[in-house]
Structure 1
Amino acid sequence: MVKLCFILQCIVSSVVIENSRSISSPLAPFTTYKHSIELQKDVADLWWTVDDNEREIIFELHINTTGWIALGISPAGGMNGADIGVGWVDQIGSVYFQDRYASANGRPMFDNTTIDWFVVQGREVSGWTAIQFKRLLDTCDNMDVPIKSGTNNLIFAYGLVDPIPSGPNGEISYHENRRGSRTLPLRSYADPPSEDTFSGLDYFEFRLNNYVIPSTDTTYHCKIYKASSNYSMKRHAIGHKTIVDSANRDLVHHLLMYECDPTTQFDDNNLPDGLCNTISQQITPCGSNIATGWAVGGDYMVPFPKEAGYPVGGDFPIKYYMVQMHYDNPNLFSSMKPLF
């Protein structure tokens, strides 16, 4: 299921943005950091601080496992060309950390040039592994990826057991589907607000429930929604939230929400809903102006700038929206596999 929610408030200027967001790990970090993010709910959290004077970045990664954990900087968001730090804590509390490089999709090799990921400390408590480590922003190593200004592609993964043998040269097991990615501006990150910031506010939502994905490698599905009629006076959305069921994260690539031409009138009892190329003539009035969107690696909760709320209701002319979903299905899962 993919559910797009707009969170509404009448007076935009009263919004309070908190410099924190939800964290799953039951373990307190080793120190205080400038930034933190939940990489995957109940699975992985990351803290970091950039030291521009020393030209280095210090990370702390917590993952819900007693096996190995890994964080990588990727040139394009995948394994190929990624600079990866892999670590674990063994049964007697010793911490190991490896500098690895992925030349393709597969087990990353040991970096055979210079060692540029350095472990600081680590522990394993209550089924979670927490490791603090650091590296230079730019190592000048051709098997590393510089952490530059702007967006950076992070990948993470973990195993259920420690490498065998558990030592500096231990080999990691295959992570299977225990992996993820995020796109973050590590050197200029603005922490998203806590969901508590929006609790108690009005909202409306567009849902795509129980859609059965075709067994093709890529699918674009389009659906028209009518704007909420609950607001007789114009109000302003102050943020949006995208919810993707955890079982379907590997299939959802991105979504775009378009405004439909204000002069367009649809049959409210039979709104267009289907493969985009199949209903292309019906949705032509809805393909120009993008209202918002989300893609893999993006934040699920996005606040709008205080001075730039999105109008809804009242005399705002947009009455219909189209959500275009892109499903990426390289494994050609059966069309009987539903999305909830």
Structure 2
Amino acid sequence: MLTVTSVLFVLFAVSSAQQLTFTHHAVLDPNEKFQLNWNPATDGSDYFTFECVVATRGWLGLGFSSNGAMAAADMVIAWVDASGNPQISDRHGPAQGNGYPPADIKQDYELISGRKNDTHTIITFRRKQDTCDPQDWKITSDTTRLIWAYNDQVPTSADDISKHTERGVKSVQLVNPQTKDGMATILADPRTVTYDLRITNVTLPTDKRTLYWCEIIELPTWNKHHIIANRMMVQKGNERYVHHLVVYGCGEEDMSEHLGKPAACFDDTQVFSPMQMCTDYHAVWAVGGEDFVYPSNMGAPIFGNSKQRFVLLEMHYDNPDLTP
């Protein structure tokens, strides 16, 4: 049984900036062997910084694709050579179909560092959000399909890169603007109150790769507060199954009859009926998203209205390998 996910609301007010080494993280493969950390650009002419942590001692590849295929994709391949020196190569997919990705005429990926140990290779590099190179992918706020690959064979040169032994695709939101207010500062403020929304244990089906799961939750009777931040809490080990979350407010609808009756939001015969009545957004999160913090002079009201007692928690799980 997979006990997966919840969202934490941070209530009340304030704070200041917090700098993190990497603000974003995603596990790209079902076996957690290819992990990606990154910092988005602050504007369209700035750099994205990426760190690939991959369970290989050979080469690793990361690509940006419109549809998850190699054709016309923007790719970077990196490795640590036999002398211990990190190497990087800016490449692109063939115009059509799959095939060996040739090197770009203009190399726009800048190596920052690279190292490997007995089990993993770690490569850090950067590139501009828009390189103005027709062979590169302009990173936008749209969901990006990241293609990934690796092989345990160490290339002898950029012209000697063997075919991947493992590959896959993952949809990720790379551009998720960070506010100047830090979650750590907010949580350290003694005036802050936290409230957790936790979904009941969910067993993922093994006959279909995706599941939308919904549960009605009754809010406590509190005085009026304001949501000033929220954080996704995914049970460790289940990150690869969680795709996105939405928390809806149900207005003044009485949803008592649905308490304790979580169910699939959509199936072949019907729509989970509470979804038709709960339409106010309280929180939204998707793969690649991190803590969301409101600007210090803003917040979303919650509690305080005895008629607005219920929220709907919608989870989207993704299980492409149909793992039990």
Query: Which TM-score band applies after superposition, normalised by the shorter structure?
Result: 0.7 to 0.9
Q: Do 1:225 and 1:320's aligned partners in 2 also have CA atoms closer than 8 Å?
A: yes
Query: Separation in 2 of the partners of 1:48 and 1:257?
Result: 25
2:232 is matched by which residue type in structure 1?
A: T
Deviations 1:284-327 (A, max 9, x none): 56332222222233x23111233331222223642100112223
Counterpart pick for 1:137 among 121, 130, 134: 130
Say if 2:272 is the partner of 1:272. no
Pick aligned residue for 2:198 from 207, 211, 218: 207
CA 1:101–1:309 in structure 2 vs 1: closer, same or farther (change >3 Å)? same
* Residues 96, 282 of structure 1: alpha-carbon distance in 2 compared, 3 angstrom cutoff: closer
The correspondence of residues 121-200 of structure 1 with structure 2, limited to 5 A, is 122-124=113-115, 129-134=122-127, 137-141=130-134, 143-147=135-139, 150-151=141-142, 153=144, 155=146, 157=148, 159=150, 161=152, 163-169=153-159, 170-171=161-162, 173-175=164-166, 182-185=172-175, 189-190=177-178, 194-200=182-188
Residue 300 of structure 1 corresponds to which residue in structure 2?
Answer: 290
Q: Using the alignment, how far apart are the partners of 1:114 and 1:153 within structure 2?
A: 24
Give yes or no for the alignment of 1:222 onto 2:210: no
Is 1:82 aligned to residue 73 of structure 2? yes
CA contact (8 A) 2:11 2:228 kept: yes
Distance in 1 of aligned mates of 2:85 and 2:273: 63
The residue number in structure 2 matching 1:26 is none
Could you tell me whether the CA contact under 8 Å between 2:15 and 2:296 is conserved in 1?
no
CA apart distance, 1:192: 7.1
Number of aligned residue pairs: give it. Answer: 305
2:173 alignment partner, SS class: strand
Partner of 1:29: none
1:241 is displaced (CA, Å) by: 0.9
Tell me if the contact between 2:179 and 2:293 (Cα under 8 Å) persists in the aligned partners. Answer: no
Q: Which runs of 5+ in 2 are unaligned?
A: none
- Percent of aligned pairs with the same residue? 20
**1:208 shift after superposition:** 1.9
> Following the alignment from structure 1 to structure 2, what is the Cα–Cα distance between the partners of residues 105 and 322?
44
Correspondence for 1:32:
none
Instruction: Check whether the contact 2:245–2:284 (CA below 8 A) recurs between aligned residues.
Output: yes
2:7 counterpart (4, 7, 23): 4
| Deviation of the 1:242 alpha carbon | 1.1
- What is residue 18 of structure 1 aligned with on the other side? 17
Give me the whole-angstrom Cα distance separating, in 1, the residues matched to 2:96 and 2:317: 21
- Using the size of structure 1 for normalisation, the TM-score is 0.72
Q: Provide the C-alpha distance between the structure 2 equivalents of 1:108 and 1:194, rounded to a whole number of angstroms.
A: 44
- Secondary structure of 1:99's counterpart equals strand
Alpha-carbon distance change, 259 to 104 in structure 1, aligned in 2, over 3 angstroms: farther
Q: Which residue of 2 aligns with 1:255?
A: 245
Contact residue 52 and residue 124 of structure 2 kept, 8 A: yes
Cα displacement (A) at 1:83: 0.4
Give the aligned residue type for 1:224: I
Q: Which residue of 2 aligns with 1:33?
A: none
3-state SS of paired residue (2:256): coil
Does the alignment pair 1:327 with 2:324?
A: no
1:238 aligns with 228
- The whole-number CA distance in structure 1 between the counterparts of 2:229 and 2:312 is 18
Q: Secondary structure at the match of 1:323?
A: strand
| Aligned residue in 2 for 1:37 | 23
> Is residue 155–residue 181 contact of structure 1 (8 Å, CA) maintained in 2?
yes
Aligned-partner Cα distance in 1 for 2:261–2:271: 10
